[in-house]
Chain A
Amino acid sequence: EVQLVQSGAEVKKPGESLKISCKGSGYSFTSYWIGWVRQMPGKGLEWMGIIYPGDSDTRYSPSFQGQVTISADKSISTAYLQWSSLKASDTAMYYCARLPLGYNWFDPWGQGTLVTVSS
């Protein structure tokens, strides 16, 4: 069974750094793109960026370029999303999701990681 399991909820203060993870299993992790999607409280889905773990090729949405860093460690089948200095406006649920080879939809999705940034 293809699964993406994300790290647990985080509570951080403004200005702190954070790295959340997404571990893939049940498939060849290096052969599929992984995307990250933000969902702010009560709002819709926003595409943040994607990474190809095989060679770490990464693409960002213009809205998130320079705001976050996407990376992957193929040795442990894990993708990451990180912030160097969190803001209150980063409070959201973050999902990772796999893109089937050669296609542009997301399936399956991880269970989500809730990030709360508050002083």
Chain B
Amino acid sequence: SYVLTQPPSVSVAPGQTARITCGGNNIGSKSVHWYQQKPGQAPVLVVYDDSDRPSGIPERFSGSNSGNTATLTISRVEAGDEADYYCQVWDSSSDSWVFGGGTKLTVL
């Protein structure tokens, strides 16, 4: 089955840029989606189809995907961005929806 690998944690100071990676075999050939989950809340979609943002999501959130790595980039990080972030793809070979293990973003 397809596996997505994320770093367990990323730390960044307020105002800086956070980059959260999601690794997978030839992930660049798939569409990657990203979710933000704050403590005690349900996940929220923040980026879909590699780099598109749902309405209401700040432009500070962006995504890219190439080769074996997809990246969620959060510019001008704020304290309110502290959360767990998950990447997700649909694996056509197994008709399965796959999540990465999640990355905890800490704002220092």
B102 within 8 Å of A by Cβ? yes
Interface of A is mostly: loop
A61 within 8 Å of B by Cβ? yes
**Which one of A59, A95, A104 contacts B43 once the chains associate, using CB atoms below 8 Å?**
A95
Minimum distance in angstroms from A86 CB to a CB of chain B? 22
In the docked arrangement, what's the CA distance between A28 and B33, Å?
Answer: 24
Q: Which B residues touch A109, using CB under 8 A?
A: 42-44
B75 within 8 Å of A by Cβ? no
Beyond contacts A62-B96, A110-B42: 5 other A-B pairs, Cβ-Cβ < 8 A, are A44-B84, A45-B88, A47-B99, A105-B88, A106-B97
**Which one of B42, B44, B54, B96 contacts A61 once the chains associate, using CB atoms below 8 Å?**
B96
User: Is B95 in contact with A46, judged by CB distance below 8 angstroms?
Assistant: no
Q: Which B residues touch A104, using CB under 8 A?
A: 31, 33, 89-90, 97
User: Is A105 in contact with B99, judged by CB distance below 8 angstroms?
Assistant: no
User: Is A46 in contact with B99, judged by CB distance below 8 angstroms?
Assistant: yes
B100 within 8 Å of A by Cβ? yes
**Which one of B31, B35, B96 contacts A47 once the chains associate, using CB atoms below 8 Å?**
B96
Minimum distance in angstroms from B103 CB to a CB of chain A? 10
User: Is B42 in contact with A44, judged by CB distance below 8 angstroms?
Assistant: no
Minimum distance in angstroms from B95 CB to a CB of chain A? 6
Task: State which residues 73-107 of A face B: CB under 8 Å.
Answer: 95, 97, 103-107
Task: State which residues 22-74 of A face B: CB under 8 Å.
Answer: 35, 37, 44-47, 50, 59, 61-62
User: Is A47 in contact with B43, judged by CB distance below 8 angstroms?
Assistant: no
In the docked arrangement, what's the CA distance between A108 and B89, Å?
Answer: 16
In the docked arrangement, what's the CA distance between A10 and B50, Å?
Answer: 37
